[in-house]
Amino acid sequence: MQQKLNLYNTLTRKKEVFEPLHPPMVGMYVCGPTVYGEPHLGHARSAVTYDVLYRFLKSQGYKVRYVRNVTDVGHLENDADEGEDKIEKRAKLEHLEPMEVVQHYTNIYHEELRKLNVLPPDIEPRASGHIIEQIEMIQEILNNGLAYEANGSVYFDVKAYNKDHNYGKLSGRNIEDLLGNTRATEGQEEKRSPVDFALWKKASPAHIMRWPSPWSDGFPGWHLECSAMSRKYLGTTFDIHGGGLDLMFPHHECEIAQSQASNSHTDAARYWIHNNMITVNGQKMGKSLGNFINLSELFGGTHETLEQAYTPMTVRFFILQAHYRSTLDFSNEALQAARKGYTKLMNGLNILKKLEYPEETEALAPDEKLNQELLKLTEDCYRGMNDDLNTARTIASLFNLLKKINSLNLGQISMGQLSRGTFDTVRDTYQELVTDVLGLQEEPLGDMEEMLDLVLQFYKEAKENKHYDKVDTIRAELKKQGIVIKDLKTGIDWAYEE
RNA sequence: GGUAACGUGGCCGAGUGGCUAGGCUCAGCUCUGCAAAAGCUGCUACAGCGGUUCGAAUCCGCUCGUUACCUCCA
């Protein structure tokens, strides 16, 4: 495949050819969730987006180290002021240890992502497990004169930093605008400037989650964990940093500032990737709007805006049918359409399993034009992926390919019109992209017990009609599945074979 | 208020100077015991107004509308 992957880099605001720093190794860091609540559609979009990037890079032969963190400390209700820690607030509410909250929601997050066929990252570090690394980084920034201590807390000195660096280079802001727009917030007396952000916060006496540091018993600022952990596992400069568009400012901006101000002196990542938001009725799903749709509600059909339950693969397909940098509007109609599209793609997968190129028929009536057309379609599939992970285009091309596969299956196109090479390319492309790269897999069929009842019904009829050959066949086939039929006086039943 | 982005056919959603995106829906045809699936055909759109150009949905300007970030959020 001589096509090259292009990625849109927020840092440069344009699509760039992806060239890893140390091929074939690729280092990739993605901002994971703060585990204080149920995972929702937005988490799914982010996870699926970077899962596809991860899968695609691997399919292209890269050796990827994928790090996705779990934020379990330091994420305050309000940034860098006197807000409560999200985790701790939840813990108090539910009368739990903060780490119980963390574990609980981390487990659910993992479970839901597994349903969505999202591969686990290679390393999943937690902020609370990297306090030492974070303290070290703060010390570096202090030593470099770009942070200051105030009453046991340490703040990043944005104005000082901005003298030699560009604070706002990622999100396209400038410090004057920021200063002009910062609203007066209470409890910020310690900060020299409203734009400064916390690297370390001194804990109030009531605060449970606290660690010793040179400055105070306290906890690290939210932005710091990502800088410290990405550096620890991927180095001072790595290839890809991903996350939601809403994290661009201030979170990612601060990450870059911290990395530059520390002894790393880098932007941390070379390609900064941002996925767009999910909207509901044209409005962003947001905490303050209270219009979140949790994944459990989606899979269970329990949310009030849902007309029905949607399976994880329907949701995955729905996400992939849009480009990751576009907002994706949620609606029942769109999900239902996604369901059908998904099943269509799966039917194609099943057809391909059964289709074989006949051994002896080596292109009886080769149709050069058709072969060319099919090969072009397979290239289109990859062209979509390479063009900034445009899964929407890839899926469109896969549907075009699927039409031909269906025609082949129905004999509207004969196998002899294709060369073996064309057929293999078509099959391999379809299978690889659908299952390995897009990560779409078959979902279990309906109720197995109901199907079994149907078989038992046929068994009963066969027996009544004394079609003993059929009776024997049914028994034998079911036995292969580990099921035995029991002819009881009271009726017919089944049991697991012991 | 500051800064961005977007406005595509009944719905969703790609594209981006000239060539059919695709999915869903709807109508018709082929196939078919009936149906379904599949294939084929049709519904041929790019907010409005100007401009650049041989040619614009695609570039530029203005107008209208929507949204996002600037505060917690993936």
CATH number at residue A88: 3.40.50.620
Of the three residues A236, A257, A275, the one that is the final residue of a domain is A275
Is A482 part of a structural domain of the chain? yes
Per DSSP bridges, beta strands A25-30 and A238-244 are parallel
Is A316 part of a structural domain of the chain? no
For residue A361, pLDDT over 60 is answered with: no
A333 nearest nucleotide via C1' and CA: B11
* pLDDT, mean over chain A: 89
For residue A287, pLDDT over 80 is answered with: no
Task: Name, in order, each residue with C-beta under 8 angstroms of A473's C-beta and a sequence gap of 6 or more.
Answer: none
Q: Is the CB of A149 under 7 A from strand B?
A: no
Q: Is the CB of A36 under 7 A from strand B?
A: no
- Of A30-34, A367-371, A393-397, A468-472, the range with the lowest mean pLDDT is A367-371
Q: What is the ipTM of this complex?
A: 0.91
Residues A475 and A359 in one domain: no
For residue A290, pLDDT over 90 is answered with: no
Cis peptide before A24 (omega within 30 of 0): yes
Split at pLDDT 50, 70, 90, the class of A181 is low
Residue A1: the pLDDT is: 44
CA distances from A322 to A16, A32, A319, A355, A498 (A): 21, 21, 6, 30, 49
Residue A183: the pLDDT is: 53
Residues A24 and A155 in one domain: yes
Nearest residue to A298 via CA among A338, A326, A327, A325: A338
- Of A92-101, A102-111, A233-242, the range with the lowest mean pLDDT is A92-101
Split at pLDDT 50, 70, 90, the class of A362 is low
Q: Is the CB of A168 under 7 A from strand B?
A: no
Residues A219 and A145 in one domain: yes
Is A13 part of a structural domain of the chain? yes
For residue A363, pLDDT over 70 is answered with: no
Burial class from Cβ neighbours inside 10 Å (0-12, 13-18, 19+) for residue A145 reads: exposed
Domain count, chain A: 3
Cis peptide before A212 (omega within 30 of 0): no
CA A243 → C1' B74, Å? Answer: 7
Mean pLDDT of A155-167: 92
| Separation of alpha carbons A335 and A242, rounded Å | 26
Q: Is the CB of A74 under 7 A from strand B?
A: no
For residue A403, pLDDT over 50 is answered with: yes
Q: Token digits for A335?
A: 């999900």
A339 nearest nucleotide via C1' and CA: B24
* Residues counted in chain A: 498
Is A126 part of a structural domain of the chain? yes
Q: Is the CB of A348 under 7 A from strand B?
A: no
**Ordered strands of the A328-330 beta sheet:** A283-284, A278-280, A328-330
Task: Name, in order, each residue with C-beta under 8 angstroms of A365's C-beta and a sequence gap of 6 or more.
Answer: A414, A416, A417
- Of A4-18, A167-181, A461-475, the range with the lowest mean pLDDT is A167-181
Residues A153 and A126 in one domain: yes
Per DSSP bridges, beta strands A238-244 and A269-275 are parallel
Residues A212 and A346 in one domain: no
Q: Token digits for A308?
A: 């029905």
Q: Token digits for A141?
A: 């920034």
Torsion sign across C-alpha atoms A256, A261, A262, A264:
positive
Q: Is the CB of A372 under 7 A from strand B?
A: no
For residue A86, pLDDT over 60 is answered with: yes
Residue A269: the pLDDT is: 94
Q: Which of residues 397-416 of A touch strand B (CB under 7 A)?
A: 399-400, 402-403, 406-407, 409-410, 412
Of the three residues A416, A437, A458, the one that is the final residue of a domain is A437
Split at pLDDT 50, 70, 90, the class of A303 is confident
Split at pLDDT 50, 70, 90, the class of A89 is confident
Task: Name, in order, each residue with C-beta under 8 angstroms of A320's C-beta and a sequence gap of 6 or more.
Answer: A48, A52, A391, A392, A395, A438, A440
Q: Token digits for A398?
A: 């896969």
Residues A182 and A271 in one domain: yes
pLDDT tens digits along A262-282: 999 999 999 999 999 888 877
Of the three residues A275, A301, A319, the one that is the final residue of a domain is A275
Task: Name, in order, each residue with C-beta under 8 angstroms of A34's C-beta and a sequence gap of 6 or more.
Answer: A71, A72, A75, A86, A87
pLDDT tens digits along A316-329: 999 999 999 998 88
Residues A472 and A400 in one domain: no
CA A483 → C1' B52, Å? Answer: 75
Residues A430 and A452 in one domain: no
Is residue A221 within 8 Å of residue A197, measured between CB atoms?
Answer: yes
Residues A92 and A128 in one domain: yes
For residue A165, pLDDT over 70 is answered with: yes
Is residue A42 within 8 Å of residue A285, measured between CB atoms?
Answer: yes
Residues A169 and A243 in one domain: yes
Q: Is the CB of A323 under 7 A from strand B?
A: yes
Residue A81: the pLDDT is: 46
Q: Token digits for A5?
A: 């992957």
Residues A128 and A176 in one domain: yes
Residue A79: the pLDDT is: 43
Is A309 part of a structural domain of the chain? no
pLDDT tens digits along A62-84: 999 999 999 998 777 654 445 67
Q: Token digits for A458?
A: 């046929």
Is A93 part of a structural domain of the chain? yes
| Separation of alpha carbons A342 and A440, rounded Å | 8
Is A38 part of a structural domain of the chain? yes
Residue A442: the pLDDT is: 92
Is A314 part of a structural domain of the chain? no
Residues A251 and A363 in one domain: no
- Of A107-121, A165-179, A232-246, A381-395, the range with the lowest mean pLDDT is A165-179
Q: Which nucleotides of B are covered by protein (CB under 7 A)?
A: 1-4, 11-16, 21-25, 37-40, 66-74
For residue A431, pLDDT over 90 is answered with: yes
Look up the domain containing A478 and give its range: 448-496
Mean pLDDT of A139-165: 94
